[in-house]
A and B are shown apart, each in its own frame.
Chain A
């Protein structure tokens, strides 16, 4: 893991030039580096690599915005040939020249400001902020006055991108800017970033797990090596879905906000044991609300559900222990999925004790972490020491710890690179062989390709879609 070097062209005078960047943690252990990274003026450089290799840390280190206990032990950052010293000089540089879209943009949007105001934070006037909203596919008339909590995950992400792009920063840093976006929205975001290509004032750094985004945008790809090889499981036989429906929903009506605009109207659907059902649809159409409704976390206006022959009450509070155990949700936002006060082991031990009835959870914790492709040693860490992809997999392990019969997975592969995502999907395939049913909302073609059925959420209804045309 030490002395990893990122292959790139060092013979660049202008633009961004990073040499010998070395980041260590509190104990002085190497986290990344030493790293050389160069981006010529007008270039879009993509950093790709497996989850947990320190891509986000590298971006923070370049911007001199590392959070403790991480710190920069060595290295230089030059911008247009000028050395950027850490501290005040770096802060001024960030304010003057840099725009950032971080992972989990919904958290970066001020909860009390409206979308148009958020974009104006970057210095844009009212007219151009509305134009920036339109450019990322959000109708200004409908979305300009919404606050962060009234936006879906994908919409919040697009507002964050619009905010960063509207200011036309000299250096734009994008960390997974399309993780919650469908194909059409992704193309719009790509177009908004693509105008920067070739402009000699602009440099863009991009971290993405999405090969399509990288292919569409990047002039150059920098591969970051894995510190550990993710647990690969090889090819897994596709389980045959059972015939009897495990979950059966009739007449489901869900609105957002509760009691407001209907997202789903009188919708029926079924999920059989061992089946993987993917829900697709444009950003903001209600995929997350559907999963949360089934999980009992989003109020339901009307409808009935049955799980394996017993009545499934909607509110999670009215569900008996066996039903709670049977239905588990993995949420969309890895940033707040885990309690910052607890260690990973504690987060997994709780469902093991409370729901699965395990007396000695330690062995189960190691097994669960290994299952999702994580090192069992991670159990001793706290949330803030994990990357977005690692948090997402811990959240998945926590849901699996309960031993569910139905897993509700909201964009479960969004923060993962292709190899790790394939490992997670292999795991789900194996568990499906034992009868686990998975209902997932996903934009990821890798997920829809494996799905037994794809449901398209359109015009407030779910319609079956032939998996062959899922792309």
Chain B
């Protein structure tokens, strides 16, 4: 049973509002640096200056403008997380389509390999990778290790249901080849599921990238980075709370918006997702 009509129609409007909000915040996170009033790496005043006319959100541990650093500090995290999410989701969806469609020995082997990956703690994989590889590459690789098996399972199970529907059987009756059926019939029917999954992978990748940055495995100082800012400004929290709160809030807002947008995307159009 679905909820009342008024609430549901609001959800559809909400989907558009959500998409708009995600676009704006996404643009700010990636290209906000051009709006920065000061050079994010150069000091503009004394350390831990509270918000004032010179620096709207005050200054940080080295006297740099917090607002400028927040505007410029999302790009690394957002781009890394987006690349990781796309890679993990794309591999998972592709694998899920193959496994769900064939259910043969190759599919079983693939599923077993994925289960093996799931059995290893994700953070352990991420730390080892971060030591061996550059930060962003480690985040992408770890997200793929931790996310692809989950996506694969969900997609494979849905594909086994979809392959017995009338429209897929009609495609078989037209003599369509497997790749054509998967691309034209199965994948479009999974659009909502894939969108929702992509959002989940993005949030997980963002958290992982932030965690590695917080541990000092992110971009090297003095480059601005939300997670690194939290670490640098922890000691001055009493002098200029904005230096700590602003990057933390930026991380939270991006995660929250993408999560909500993903949920709405999975719910629209009444698709089997």
Chain A residues near B (Cβ < 8 Å): 26, 63-72, 86-88, 90-91, 94, 111, 295-297, 316-317, 319, 321, 324, 327-329, 331, 333-334, 336-342, 347, 350-351, 354-355, 382, 384, 395, 398-399, 402
Q: Are B3 and A91 in contact (CB under 8 A)?
A: yes
Distance of A35 from chain B, by nearest CB (Å): 15
Q: Are B1 and A94 in contact (CB under 8 A)?
A: yes
Complexed CA–CA distance, A296 and B170 (Å): 11
**In chain B, residues 118-177, which have Cβ atoms closer than 8 Å to a Cβ of chain A?**
161, 165-167, 169-176
Q: Are A324 and B175 in contact (CB under 8 A)?
A: yes
Please tell me which one of the listed residues A295, A336, A340, A354 contacts residue B269 in the complex, with CB atoms under 8 A apart.
A340
**0/1 string, B172-202, CB within 8 A of A gives 1:** 1111100000001100110100000000000
Tell me which residues across on chain B come within 8 A of A341, comparing CB atoms.
188-189, 191, 271
Q: Please list 9 pairs of residues, one from A and one from B, whose beta carbons are closer than 8 Å in the complex, sorted by A's number.
A: A71-B9, A91-B4, A317-B172, A329-B169, A331-B169, A337-B170, A339-B185, A350-B171, A350-B174
Please tell me which one of the listed residues A71, A342, A355, A384 contacts residue B188 in the complex, with CB atoms under 8 A apart.
A342
Going nearest first, the 3 A-B pairs with the smallest beta carbon separation are A341-B188, A337-B166, A71-B5
Distance of A101 from chain B, by nearest CB (Å): 14
Q: Are B6 and A86 in contact (CB under 8 A)?
A: yes
Complexed CA–CA distance, A26 and B269 (Å): 12
Q: Are A324 and B173 in contact (CB under 8 A)?
A: yes
Q: Are B1 and A319 in contact (CB under 8 A)?
A: no
Q: Are B4 and A86 in contact (CB under 8 A)?
A: yes
Distance of B140 from chain A, by nearest CB (Å): 29
Q: Are B174 and A68 in contact (CB under 8 A)?
A: no
State whether the Cβ of B11 lies closer than 8 Å to any Cβ in chain A.
yes
Tell me which residues across on chain A come within 8 A of B9, comparing CB atoms.
26, 68-69, 71
Q: Are A331 and B166 in contact (CB under 8 A)?
A: yes
| Contact A354/B174 with A67-B8, A341-B188 known, Cβ cut-off 8 Å | yes
Q: Are B189 and A67 in contact (CB under 8 A)?
A: no
Complexed CA–CA distance, A210 and B169 (Å): 28
Distance of A348 from chain B, by nearest CB (Å): 11
Chain B contact residues (Cβ within 8 angstroms of A): what range?
20 to 34
Please tell me which one of the listed residues B5, B165, B167 contacts residue A347 in the complex, with CB atoms under 8 A apart.
B167
With A339-B165, A339-B189 given, name 12 new contacts (CB 8 A): A71-B9, A86-B6, A90-B4, A297-B172, A319-B175, A324-B175, A331-B169, A337-B166, A338-B166, A342-B188, A350-B174, A354-B175
Nearest neighbor of B161 in chain A, beta-carbon distance: A111
Tell me which residues across on chain A come within 8 A of B174, comparing CB atoms.
324, 350-351, 354-355, 402
| Contact A336/B1 with A67-B270, A69-B12, A354-B175 known, Cβ cut-off 8 Å | no
Q: Are A384 and B269 in contact (CB under 8 A)?
A: yes
Of B3, B7, B166, B188, most A-chain CB atoms within 10 Å: B166
Q: Are A338 and B6 in contact (CB under 8 A)?
A: no
Nearest neighbor of A297 in chain B, beta-carbon distance: B169
Tell me which residues across on chain A come within 8 A of B270, comparing CB atoms.
67-68, 340, 384
Distance of B259 from chain A, by nearest CB (Å): 21
Complexed CA–CA distance, A317 and B182 (Å): 15
State whether the Cβ of B272 lies closer than 8 Å to any Cβ in chain A.
yes
Complexed CA–CA distance, A336 and B161 (Å): 10
| Contact A328/B173 with A68-B11, A91-B1 known, Cβ cut-off 8 Å | yes
Q: Are B5 and A336 in contact (CB under 8 A)?
A: no
| Contact A70/B167 with A324-B174, A340-B269 known, Cβ cut-off 8 Å | no
Tell me which residues across on chain B come within 8 A of A70, comparing CB atoms.
5
